[in-house]
């Protein structure tokens, strides 16, 4: 009984953490390159919406996923242009984009799904990993849709690129001292453009996971702060990839607890648990969870 509950808890932890993992990994790359991509929330929401629309119109969740990426790319281009070319304040532009996307998706949702707001849309089904899913107790852990495994693969690839390639050095260096990168003959603007676009794709995947991967429907403002939470995970992870992954899992677990604790008969006000990730983030930013070492040139526009 208890073992079963734990397995369910772990399974839902991962399910809830996957969208954060996508978005946070993308955000990590941006921030290591020196750009705070505050529009992450809007990118995720657009990904969730476009994924739902694509899947509903075509009947194919794969095409929905493609639509999610295509719809988020323009946002990434706008963000890249604003921050790297026009050198606008990254926080302000990001929040502006978030508000814009919230309005756009809400309007679009009401236009398209207005009458049948409860209808499910075609989505991805959970995927029983051969062998692993049959394991006792932890078996349910491996009953995830394939996007979760894609996420894991991308995270490993990002870890490799950041640590072992010349591109990775350029990305990390662009976030620390862009002037020095330029003097070394690398193209800071190109690196930062690329990082923002990568973040856009990752946020689209994370958002689409929410709508067509997890619950097979779209609701207004359904990301509900997941993008901000992913940014918090990067901060909590002290801009290190594996610590950020850990932070996402921690936040996923804190959210999963909201549903598990009542089942266990523990009475804690739900609001406290919803607060939890943000509270942890406060502690992290306040320097109580180790020293914070943000990239030195984070959020600073680059002037050649």
Residue ranges in contact with another protein by CB under 8 A: 164-167, 169-170, 172-173, 176-177, 179-187, 296, 304
Cα separation, 280 vs 124, in Å, equals 32
Which residue in 155, 142, 136, 153 sits closest to 230, CA to CA? 155
C-beta of 20: minimal distance to another protein in Å? Answer: 26
C-beta of 10: minimal distance to another protein in Å? Answer: 35
* Cβ closest to another protein, residue 184 vs residue 270: 184
* Cβ closest to another protein, residue 45 vs residue 173: 173
Cα separation, 62 vs 277, in Å, equals 32
Cα separation, 217 vs 213, in Å, equals 9
- Contact in structure between 23 and 202 (CB atoms under 8 Å): yes
* Cβ closest to another protein, residue 224 vs residue 238: 238
Instruction: Find residue 128's DSSP bridge partners.
Output: 143
C-beta of 292: minimal distance to another protein in Å? Answer: 14
C-beta of 238: minimal distance to another protein in Å? Answer: 13
* Cβ closest to another protein, residue 94 vs residue 175: 175
* Cβ closest to another protein, residue 136 vs residue 185: 185
C-beta of 153: minimal distance to another protein in Å? Answer: 18
C-beta of 197: minimal distance to another protein in Å? Answer: 16
Structure tokens at 121: 């849309």
Which of left, alpha, beta for 149 (phi over 0: left; psi -120 to 50: alpha)?
Answer: alpha
* Cβ closest to another protein, residue 45 vs residue 181: 181
* Cβ closest to another protein, residue 69 vs residue 174: 174
Cα separation, 234 vs 212, in Å, equals 25
Burial class (CB in 10 A: 0-12, 13-18, 19+), 137: exposed
C-beta of 170: minimal distance to another protein in Å? Answer: 7
Cα separation, 212 vs 18, in Å, equals 13
* Cβ closest to another protein, residue 289 vs residue 294: 294
- 7-16: burial string, b at 16+ Cβ within 10 Å, e else: bbbbbbbbbb
C-beta of 73: minimal distance to another protein in Å? Answer: 22
Residue appearing with tokens 């809400």: 106
Centroid of chain to Cα 144: 17
């Amino acid at each position: 009984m208890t073992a079963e509950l734990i397995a369910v808890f772990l399974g839902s932890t991962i399910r809830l953490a996957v969208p954060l993992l996508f978005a946070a990994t993308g955000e990590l790359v941006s921030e290591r390159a020196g750009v705070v991509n505050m529009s992450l929330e809007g990118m995720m929401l657009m990904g969730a919406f476009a994924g739902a629309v694509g899947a509903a119109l075509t009947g194919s969740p794969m095409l929905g996923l493609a639509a999610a990426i295509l719809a988020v790319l323009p946002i990434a281009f706008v963000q890249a242009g604003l921050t790297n070319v026009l050198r606008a304040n990254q926080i302000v532009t990001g929040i502006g984009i978030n508000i814009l996307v919230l309005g756009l998706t809400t309007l679009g949702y009401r236009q398209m799904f207005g009458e049948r707001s409860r209808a499910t849309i075609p989505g991805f089904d959970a995927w029983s990993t051969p062998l692993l899913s049959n394991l006792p107790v932890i078996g349910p852990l491996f009953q995830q849709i394939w996007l979760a495994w894609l996420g894991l693969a991308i995270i490993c690839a990002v870890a490799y690129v950041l640590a072992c390639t010349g591109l990775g050095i350029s990305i990390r260096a662009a976030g620390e001292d862009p002037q020095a990168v330029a003097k070394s003959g690398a193209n800071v603007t190109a690196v930062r453009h690329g990082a923002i676009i990568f973040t856009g794709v990752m946020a689209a995947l994370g958002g689409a996971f929410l709508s067509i991967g997890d619950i097979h429907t779209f609701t207004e403002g359904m990301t509900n702060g997941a993008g901000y939470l992913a940014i918090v995970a990067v901060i909590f992870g002290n801009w290190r990839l594996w610590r950020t992954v850990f932070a996402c899992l921690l936040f996923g677990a804190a959210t999963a607890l909201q549903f598990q604790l009542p089942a266990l008969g523990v009475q804690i006000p739900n609001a406290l648990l919803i607060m939890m990730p943000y509270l942890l983030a406060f502690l992290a930013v306040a320097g109580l969870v180790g020293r914070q070492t943000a990239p030195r040139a984070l959020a600073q526009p680059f002037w050649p």
